[in-house]
Amino acid sequence: MKKVLVTGAAGFIGSHLCDKFLAEGYHVIGMDNLITGNMDNIAHLFPLNNFEFYHHDVSKFVHVPGNLDYILHFASPASPIDYLKMPIQTLKVGSLGTHNLLGLAKAKNARILIASTSEVYGDPLEHPQTEEYWGNVNPIGPRGVYDEAKRFQEAITMAYHTYHGLETRIVRIFNTYGPRMRVEDGRVLPAFFSQAIRGEGLTVFGEGDQTRSFCYVDDLVDGIYKLLLSDYAMPVNIGNPSEITIMQFAKEILALVNNPKAHIIYKDLPVDDPKQRQPDITKARNILGWEPKFNREEGLKLTYEYFKTVVQAVD
């Protein structure tokens, strides 16, 4: 049985990755310091013989006994509300944490996949964004702690790949949604669902003409799995290229939730908020044979069923 370490295992994407690798017959070691993760996301895994969990901060030395075949590094605050509250931890997990895990991969002769992000493109001047685009990032802006942590993460990963010959993979994740997102996450989808279910104002920043492209979590996990097992070491965009304005998206959520008290309110655009987000997934299609299967209508219905339970529980 092959063994995989998933950091950030109690998080939104990390917990779905644990499910995927367990379903594929792997022994899964989950690791999380729980500053943004939630044990409820992986509670169903603890009775399984081929799952174990370490409560640990990967910014400190990481030890895993025995053999290890794969490492997936998904530990990091990932929403603006989190990394603005925890700027130092965000920088450390992207730098020190990645360094520690690359060292572990080297020691175990394991293949490592690191979770990068569309944020490496910043507020893009190229649209849609290809992997060759270098980005338009403000390193000292409020989002810089996350953006630059991920850019450094990519740089040190490629350094280990070229200098040490380490087997590395880099996934650039675009907006992803689905069950297990945190209600207080701060990103647009949890915010809109929570506000609509509670009958509050859906907060649209600026005029709402900025665009996003939303990928359902099952599609993302499938793309990550295929990338890990591929022979391709350069970064790959994984996301859904179906682009929508935030205003259109708010109206879709209002129609789905159908709460007569819910409405749209407007606030000033945050500093360095990207105006456009749309992945070019040509590489994923050609190299991995991957493209998203869930359309937004299907994915939003599944996600709504989850948020109906957790938002009511919070209230």
* Catalytic annotation, residues: 146
Cβ burial, residue 47 (10 Å; 0-12/13-18/19+)? exposed
Given 3-state DSSP classes, what are the helix, strand and coil percentages for the chain, each rounded to the nearest 5?
A: 40, 20, 40
- Omega before 279 cis (within 30°)? no
Cβ burial, residue 268 (10 Å; 0-12/13-18/19+)? exposed
Separation between Cα atoms, residue 153 and residue 51, nearest integer Å: 27
Instruction: Give the closest residue to 204 by CA, choosing from 121, 270, 256.
Output: 270
- CA-CA-CA-CA dihedral for 200, 206, 212, 215, to nearest 10: -20
Q: Which residue has the tokens 């665009």?
A: 211
17 and 221 in contact (C-beta within 8 Å)? yes
Strand intervals (E) in the chain? 3-7, 27-32, 51-55, 70-73, 111-117, 168-173, 176-177, 201-205, 211-213, 215-216, 236-238, 243-245, 263-267
